[in-house]
Amino acid sequence: MFMNQTAFSPKLLLSAVLTTCLLMPAQAEESATADAPSPDHLQGQLPLEELRNFTEIFERIRSSYVEEVDDSTLLEYAIDGMLTSLDPHSAYLQPEDFSDLQENTSGKFGGLGIEVGQQDGLILVVTPIDDTPAQKAGIKAGDLIVSLDGEAVMGMNLNDAVEKMRGEPGTDITLEIRRKNEKELLTFTLTRAEIKVASVRTDRLNGDIGYVRITQFQEKTGAELSEALQTWRDEGQLNGIILDLRNNPGGVLDAAVDVVDSFISQGRIVYTEGRTPSSELSYSATNHTAAGDVPAVVLINGGSASASEIVAGALQDHKRAVIVGTQSFGKGSVQSVLPITQDRAIKLTTARYFTPNGRSIQAQGITPDIWVEQSEVTPYEQRYYKEADLPGHLANPEDQPQADQDAPSETEGQQADANLLKKDFQLYEAHTLLRGVSILGLRQE
């Protein structure tokens, strides 16, 4: 017998399809556990009343919205809203989002160079990436983007906002920003560029202190760091390492594990806990330790998130490094990309990160061992008279001729190090700490 198709309204058809498709998993579970229903089985039942509400709203929009919207678009909107309402990191990934995900982990993409999130309906700058239009223009972590090219972002989907900030290199976009302690909105006009993020940058401060800046955790970050550390150790006279993770938004988990593994030779690095067995993972160190036992300081701030916090938390728990700076961002959740079709997937929060000692990073972050706010180093000049300035003072029997007393002139590299340390108070404090540890170590030998 054939059914008359005109007897079914779109609302009833959608309701039937949703009810049939969504209840199938629950019915399958019921057949397997019919003898002894479990609490898990009861939780599998879907709320029919809410499903009816959904189909009713769907039909109202379909029939009464001011402009016609096709059914597939409405369903995509529903999926997107369902995921973005869970937390700031879950999302519906359409085809173009896959390429964005690959670009971010490979270290090359177009746009402004801002890692963003959402806060109070506005776009939050988690951190500007080094040597990008955003960083050069003066965009800061914690800034709230109010409008993009005059269009208010309040209520705008985060993916849409990111898409609007991206564009052809050489084109301009104007951002209005609300900044803490600023009475008026700040306006920035940025020129888009191809963003190429150098993951690891290294330098030596005053010859014997290694400085490592990790801007983002990418696939080769661990190998690049290990190579730099091994080179320094082969050259000799490495008395300390500064690992700078400030304004590092995170990245590839395996890269963070590799970085920690470069500093410790045993023990747990990080573990995750979730609702499914596949979301429960644990990572441990190997015996390959490129940094050896060289003293280390890790710099963090409010722009240090996710993988950066995993590294800082692990080294802090193992008492392998001193953490210096300010409280980190507090992003301690795991996102899994789950394919739905050939060209669509969902990015779903499936677990939480925990440090080796069982501390959750989520919404709390890492508290530094030594709290240091950022500022410039401004020495206070004051003239003190010394014994040598007094007329008729006794000479020191070990005095050398004046020519021998003249201090050697600073090299260009030493001057550059001094300028860098003067501009960056947190780095200055980290450097001073390691110099102190180095001096004490020499005295104990």
Range picked from 96-105, 245-254, 377-386 for highest mean pLDDT = 245-254
Distant-in-sequence, close-in-space partners of 408: CB < 8 Å, separation ≥ 6: none
CA nearest 305: which of 359, 245, 371, 221?
245
- Pick the catalytic residue from 143, 244, 261, 317: 317
Q: Are residues 207 and 339 in the same domain?
A: yes
Q: Is 11 a catalytic residue?
A: no
- Write the CA distances from 269 to 282, 335, 380, 411, integer angstroms: 8, 19, 43, 41
pLDDT value at 137 more than 90: yes
CA–CA distance, 346 with 79 (Å, rounded to integer): 9
Could you report the per-residue pLDDT of 149-194, keeping only the tens digit for each? 999 999 887 878 888 998 888 999 999 999 999 999 999 999 999 8
Distant-in-sequence, close-in-space partners of 103: CB < 8 Å, separation ≥ 6: 109
Could you report the per-residue pLDDT of 310-345, keeping only the tens digit for each? 999 999 999 999 999 999 999 999 998 888 888 888
Q: Is 404 a catalytic residue?
A: no
Q: Are residues 181 and 286 in the same domain?
A: no
Q: Are residues 241 and 311 in the same domain?
A: yes
CA–CA distance, 198 with 216 (Å, rounded to integer): 8
Distant-in-sequence, close-in-space partners of 243: CB < 8 Å, separation ≥ 6: 212, 214, 259, 296, 297, 298, 299, 311, 315, 321
What is the span of the domain harbouring residue 284? 200-371
Give the mean model confidence (pLDDT) for residues 231-248: 91
Note the pLDDT of residue 102: 55
Q: Which residue has the higher pLDDT, 419 or 86?
A: 86
Q: Which residue has the higher pLDDT, 384 or 349?
A: 349
Helix (H, G, I), strand (E, B) or coil at 36: coil
- Pick the catalytic residue from 147, 262, 304, 306: 306
Give the mean model confidence (pLDDT) for residues 78-83: 94
Q: Is 347 a catalytic residue?
A: no
Note the pLDDT of residue 429: 94
Q: Are residues 181 and 329 in the same domain?
A: no
Note the pLDDT of residue 41: 45
- Pick the catalytic residue from 262, 331, 424, 438: 331
304 in a structural domain: yes
Q: Are residues 273 and 143 in the same domain?
A: no
Helix (H, G, I), strand (E, B) or coil at 297: strand
Residue that terminates a domain, selected from 138, 162, 196: 196
Question: The domain that contains 283 carries what CATH number?
Answer: 3.90.226.10
Note the pLDDT of residue 64: 96
Q: Are residues 263 and 204 in the same domain?
A: yes
Residue that terminates a domain, selected from 371, 394, 417: 371
Q: Are residues 123 and 207 in the same domain?
A: no
State how many domains the chain has: 2
90 in a structural domain: no
Distant-in-sequence, close-in-space partners of 37: CB < 8 Å, separation ≥ 6: 30
Question: The domain that contains 126 carries what CATH number?
Answer: 2.30.42.10
Considering the entire predicted model, what is its pTM?
0.74
> Which two tokens mark 79?
């999926």
Residue that terminates a domain, selected from 196, 218, 235: 196
Note the pLDDT of residue 412: 58
Helix (H, G, I), strand (E, B) or coil at 59: helix
Could you report the per-residue pLDDT of 19-72, keeping only the tens digit for each? 444 444 333 333 333 343 444 444 568 899 999 999 999 999 999 999 999 999
Q: Which residue has the higher pLDDT, 302 or 22?
A: 302
